[in-house]
């Protein structure tokens, strides 16, 4: 499938890596960087980019480990800092001198928060972001269920799903086929993506780097349930609470305006995510679960709300919008409404600069 009208793609050499980028709008337009999530690419923003107002320069890079960007390892011990630094390198390579607007979906939400902790930005938009305390193995206040953060990291990835990505599975023959996972988890299963567009997005997912340096990453044996702790490589370890924490966003000064959007039917980032070990253990899908007091289902949305409300109480401007019936990607299953909200937010944010 060819790119939609107004969207173009190119490769940019930065001082960190060779990065593939989707782009729309004029080079002198208001710069907006769109950061995708785990197991996706910048192309997931294509519809938004093709319908953007003319004053915006939208940039949607394929992040390290995904898409057509140079396949360099992810150092999970830095959390999502590799992604944050790669965004910075791209902005500098393009010689963008003014603060950029940043939007981050899922994993991308954590990356833009880290970027903003060290650099001035024009605004932050979170789309169903990973919790400020990472993914898996923590209680509501962010403390680990076990000292070694067991139950999070590379060991939590499904090996069959990873194998199907590596094998280039384009079918929907299994619930763990990439196409099936997209339909059930990336957006509401009640939403139908046009077949040609769905085919294009499947191809993007299949570009993901798999194994210890990509998805899911390596793991460390643990005496604690469920028998593994985070390793040091790959995307799921970068998301582990052992390394991933963006709660320091509360201390940013000056504070950029924040938009937080989420779908009510998101099963990936939720208070009881279907992908998280506490939920899987409670459902009997992982034997030996030690119970709610020791390993509760992670309250991801509650954690995000708590941190962002602290941001607001510390003087930040917070707007939160819930998309009833949307899944993990309201930018896809509620595309027109989400775009109107987003671009309206950017207009208001520009007035504050």
pLDDT, tens only, 310-329: 999 999 999 999 999 999 99
Kindly state the helix (H) or strand (E) to which residue 126 belongs, with its residue range: strand 123-127
61 lies in a domain? yes
Q: How far is 284 from 141, CA to CA, in rounded Å?
A: 25
Please return the burial class of 229, using the count of CB atoms within 10 Å of its CB with bins 0-12, 13-18 and 19+.
buried
- The pLDDT mean for the chain works out to 97
Q: How confident is the model at residue 353 (pLDDT cuts 50, 70, 90)?
A: confident
Of 54 and 56, which is predicted with more confidence? Answer: 56
The model's pTM is 0.97
Does residue 269 carry a pLDDT above 90?
yes
Q: What is the mean pLDDT of residues 246-265?
A: 97
Q: Is residue 134 part of a domain?
A: yes
Domain that holds residue 125: 7-143+245-351
pLDDT digits (tens, 9 = 90+) for 153-192: 999 999 999 999 999 999 999 999 999 999 999 999 999 9
Distance CA 84, CA 21 (A): 15
Residue 144 has pLDDT above 90, yes or no: yes
- On whether residue 68 sits in a domain, the answer given is yes
Is residue 216, in this structure, part of any structural domain at all? no
Residue 286's DSSP bridge partners are none
DSSP state of 56: E
Q: In the numeric block, which tokens belong to residue 24?
A: 């729309």
- Structural domain contains residue 304: yes
Does residue 171 form part of some domain? no
Q: Does some domain include residue 198?
A: no
Q: Is residue 30 part of a domain?
A: yes
On the question of pLDDT at 352 being above 90, the answer is: no
The predicted pLDDT at position 1 comes to 84
What CATH number should be reported for the domain holding residue 25?
3.40.50.1820
SS (HEC) of 191-245: CCCCHHHHHHHHHHHCCCCEECCCEECCEEECCCCCCEEECCECHHHHCCCCCCC
Check if the beta carbon of residue 202 is closer than 8 Å to that of residue 208. no
Q: Which residue has the higher pLDDT, 219 or 352?
A: 219
- Provide the number of structural domains found in the chain: 1
């Amino acid at each position: 499938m060819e790119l939609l009208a107004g969207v173009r793609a190119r490769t940019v050499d930065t001082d960190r890596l060779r990065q593939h980028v989707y782009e729309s709008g004029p080079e002198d337009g208001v710069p907006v960087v769109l950061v995708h999530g785990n197991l996706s690419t910048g192309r997931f923003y294509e519809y938004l980019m093709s319908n953007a107002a003319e004053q915006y320069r939208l940039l949607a890079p394929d992040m390290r480990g995904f898409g057509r960007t140079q396949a360099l390892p992810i150092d999970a011990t830095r959390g999502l800092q590799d992604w944050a630094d790669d965004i910075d390198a791209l902005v500098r390579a393009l010689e963008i001198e003014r603060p950029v607007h940043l939007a981050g979906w899922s994993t991308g939400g954590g990356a833009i928060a880290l970027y903003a902790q060290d650099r001035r930005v024009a605004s932050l938009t979170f789309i169903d972001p990973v919790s400020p305390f990472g993914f898996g193995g923590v209680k509501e206040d962010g403390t680990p269920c076990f000292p070694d953060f067991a139950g999070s990291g590379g060991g939590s990835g499904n090996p069959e799903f990873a194998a199907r990505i590596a094998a280039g599975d384009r079918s929907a023959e299994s619930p763990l086929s990439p196409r099936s996972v997209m339909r059930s988890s990336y957006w509401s299963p009640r939403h139908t993506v046009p077949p040609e567009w769905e085919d294009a997005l499947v191809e993007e997912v299949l570009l993901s780097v798999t194994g210890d340096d990509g998805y899911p990453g390596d793991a460390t044996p643990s005496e604690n349930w469920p028998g593994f702790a985070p390793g040091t490589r790959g995307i799921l370890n970068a998301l582990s609470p052992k390394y991933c924490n963006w709660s320091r966003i509360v201390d940013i000064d000056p504070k950029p305006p924040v938009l937080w959007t989420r779908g009510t039917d998101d099963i990936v980032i939720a208070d009881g995510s279907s992908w998280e070990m506490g939920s899987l253990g409670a459902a009997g899908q992982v034997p030996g679960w030690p119970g709610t007091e020791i390993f509760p289902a992670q309250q991801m949305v509650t954690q995000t709300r708590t941190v962002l409300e602290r941001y607001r109480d510390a003087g930040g401007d917070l707007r939160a919008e819930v998309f009833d019936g949307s899944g993990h990607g309201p930018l896809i299953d509620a595309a027109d409404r989400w775009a109107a909200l987003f671009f309206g937010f950017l207009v208001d944010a520009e007035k504050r600069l």
